[in-house]
Amino acid sequence: MKLYLLKNGVNPRRVRIFLAEKRIRLGDDVPFEEFDMESAGHKAPAFLAKNPMGTLPVLELDDGTVLSESVAICRYFEEQRPEPPLMGRGALGAAMVEMWNRRMEHELLLPVIGTFVHTHPFWVGKREQIPAYGELLRRQVVARMAWLDGELARQAYVAGDTYSIADITAQVALLTARGALKLPIPDEQTNLARWWAAVSARPSARA
């Protein structure tokens, strides 16, 4: 197999962290190639034949089957190597992680990425920008961080008592909010800060 990643890519980082938590080593266990935004190999015709969406990450299996979408790639590895479970156990466990991962994605990660795309100079000329929409999303990001802080007063990790893929999604969202949007965790959000310190201290945070 071969995993195609993007240097500093938000979604590829989700898979990097997921694999590190599974003790699956990039390079040794899973050969990989890293594209960058400048050469943009993932937008070249040869690569679009693999993934017409032109997105990364992409996992190519030995029989030529191509998997795109971070969470789909994570699910492949979850099924192949169930320990430690990162996508929940049993009907209720799997459903709870699914719920929280989707909340982190729809309420936090997608608005963070949307704010970045629609307001940041980096994307001028690369994507159609609608700044008013970016500002609407920025307000949503701020509100959702406060909401998540409240939720984390009741549970250690995003989906409950144990670390899961929902933490990874929240982690890359807040990393991007801090770096690209200059929206760090506010001082008063002490639950979010406690959680952030915990996930950042894991070895997978450097994956």
Q: Which residues bind its own copies (CB under 8 A)?
A: 52-53, 61, 65, 67-69, 71-73, 75-76, 79-80, 90-92, 94-96, 98-99, 102-103, 107, 128, 130, 132-133, 136, 147
Q: Nearer Cβ to its own copies, position 38 or 79?
A: 79
Would you state the structure tokens that stand for residue 14, as one six-digit string? Answer: 């989700």
Smallest distance, its own copies to C-beta of residue 107, A: 7
Q: Nearer Cβ to its own copies, position 44 or 48?
A: 48
Would you state the structure tokens that stand for residue 112, as one six-digit string? Answer: 């963070």
> What sign results for the dihedral spanned by CA atoms 47, 50, 53, 57?
negative
Smallest distance, its own copies to C-beta of residue 194, A: 20
Q: Nearer Cβ to its own copies, position 40 or 143?
A: 143
CA dist., res. 64 & res. 49, Å (int): 12
Smallest distance, its own copies to C-beta of residue 58, A: 10
Q: Are 176 and 112 in contact (CB under 8 A)?
A: yes
Q: Which amino acid is at 38?
A: E
Smallest distance, its own copies to C-beta of residue 36, A: 23
Q: Are 101 and 169 in contact (CB under 8 A)?
A: yes
